[in-house]
Amino acid sequence: MQISRLLLFLQIFIILMKVNNLNFFIMPRKKGLSVAKPSARKITPPQLLKGMKDILPEEQKYWDFIKEKAKKIAETYGFEYIDTPILESTSLFIRSVGKNTDIVEKEMFSFVDQGGDNICARPEMTASIVRAYNEHGMINRPQPVKLYSIGPVFRHNKPQAGRYRQFNQWSFEVIGDNSPVIDAELISLQYHLFKDIGLDSSLHINSVGCPVCRPQYSLQLQEYYRTRKKNLCDNCKRRFSKNPIRLLDCKEKACGEMVADAPQMVDCLCEDCRAHFVKVLEHLDAAEIPYTLDPKIVRGLDYYVRTAFEFFPISNAQEKIESQSAISGGGRYDGLVQLLGGREEIGACGFAGGLERIILAMKENNVQIPETATADVFLAQLGESARKKSLKLLEDLRTAGLKVRANLSKSSLSNQLGTAAKMGVKFTLIYGQKEVIDNTILMRDMSSSSQEIVDIKKIVSEINKRMARLNKDNV
């Protein structure tokens, strides 16, 4: 009887082991049978895509600063903010930027989406803004319509210093006016915006003519380059027949040397284009904005007519041109509204600044960003009952309009006081178990290190009173 029980137990034990896949422990190991070990293969952690950039918290002050300055000057010049989507139909840019441009030929992040549509991440904003102008019937608004936008654009080019595949632009566009004063107004806005952020800039300007005079000029250029064609770079050999005006801004040394003696667009302008250009320059003179007439400014997008301009940081303007580091560029694009489906040909002009390059130039030129006070008050808590009440108190202080910070996961008072001192706050509130019971809080003046007990209900008015006194003393 006892033996049969023992056998039964043994059977149950073996079944359980099998069910739990634990037979491994009781089976003898076969020679050569390896036990699964964690893989020794190193897994490459995900990395930033080539040409992309993280903008870390410590960099954000530059971004906040320049965007704020852009917003301020935009208001003065009467611009309204617009956001357009990052994804657009690819055909929008083929039509506007031009199918023989570097952007369209080589640089667009375009793909077929799940619905079979050809879409792309916008390589610039002007075409999108003009599309929005047409699509929302903005022609029926008082003209011109002045719009600006700030955001990321995408170009799959060869990354190098100051050249990214995702970068940010501010784009200012005036649509519905062909008067030369608009060109000057836009240039003035960009010039003074650079001044506002502490950058001296150098303006290079040219006229690229219009469909009346440019074909004639292109023929002259081809004539000039015909005998020199064999010495051009491969890119320029292609440009020779497709887009000869772009031969002028090639960055290759040999091609650049040929530009010096090439015919210049300004000598071939039709009467209307010449008169327009002269007027733009007169406005710039009157506004005391210095400029350099530069026949090499022909721009890399097809939609331009007449005025074309670029800005370079003044520290080393000549070298910057050679390293392709324009910090802003733009011009007139009178035909674009109609090209994108608008009812009539309408005057338009604009520019875009490259924000990464602008910030790089600010750093190179040691532009200091004024420090903005992060907080006036730090709330330190001590003990579990105070911590429980601190989240609500923090919100009460914030909604009362105080710039307040806290570090609620920390328990040590000295640690919290150290953080408060580093932040440079004016007052630290110390909230402990005793204060919770008494409905009070300890207020510490960080400059004098004096402390006083305040009724918790009066804390906002007490801080405000002292802040007002401090501000008065500082005047």
Residues in touch with ligand HAM (CB under 6 A): 124-126, 155, 157, 162-164, 167, 169, 171, 173, 300-301, 326-331, 333, 350-352, 354, 356-357
Rounded to a whole number of angstroms, the minimum distance from the CB of residue 331 to ligand HAM is 6
Cβ nearer to ligand HAM, comparing 126 with 202: 126
Cβ nearer to ligand HAM, comparing 107 with 376: 107
Rounded to a whole number of angstroms, the minimum distance from the CB of residue 365 to ligand HAM is 16
Rounded to a whole number of angstroms, the minimum distance from the CB of residue 450 to ligand HAM is 52
Cβ nearer to ligand HAM, comparing 165 with 405: 165
| Nearest residue to ligand HAM, by Cβ distance, number only | 354
Under 8 Å between Cβ of 303 and 333: yes
Phi, psi of 363 (to 5 degrees): -65, -45
Under 8 Å between Cβ of 301 and 246: no
Cβ nearer to ligand HAM, comparing 331 with 342: 331
Cβ nearer to ligand HAM, comparing 168 with 428: 168
Burial 81-96 (b: 16+ CB within 10 A, else e): ebebebbbebebbbbb
Helix (H, G, I), strand (E, B) or coil at 284: helix
Cβ nearer to ligand HAM, comparing 145 with 404: 145
Rounded to a whole number of angstroms, the minimum distance from the CB of residue 320 to ligand HAM is 10
Under 8 Å between Cβ of 106 and 93: no
Cα separations in angstroms, 387 against 63, 380, 410, 431, 451: 35, 9, 9, 8, 20
Residue with tokens 């102008």: 133
Under 8 Å between Cβ of 151 and 169: yes
Rounded to a whole number of angstroms, the minimum distance from the CB of residue 291 to ligand HAM is 16
Rounded to a whole number of angstroms, the minimum distance from the CB of residue 241 to ligand HAM is 23
Under 8 Å between Cβ of 188 and 289: yes
Cβ nearer to ligand HAM, comparing 168 with 390: 168
Element (H, E) at 89: strand 87-89
Rounded to a whole number of angstroms, the minimum distance from the CB of residue 330 to ligand HAM is 4
Cβ nearer to ligand HAM, comparing 84 with 328: 328
Whether residue 28 has a cis bond before it, omega within 30° of 0: no
Rounded to a whole number of angstroms, the minimum distance from the CB of residue 268 to ligand HAM is 22
The rounded distance, in Å, linking the Cα atoms of 371 and 373 is 6
Helix (H, G, I), strand (E, B) or coil at 413: helix
Cα separations in angstroms, 5 against 9, 14, 167, 418: 6, 14, 78, 72
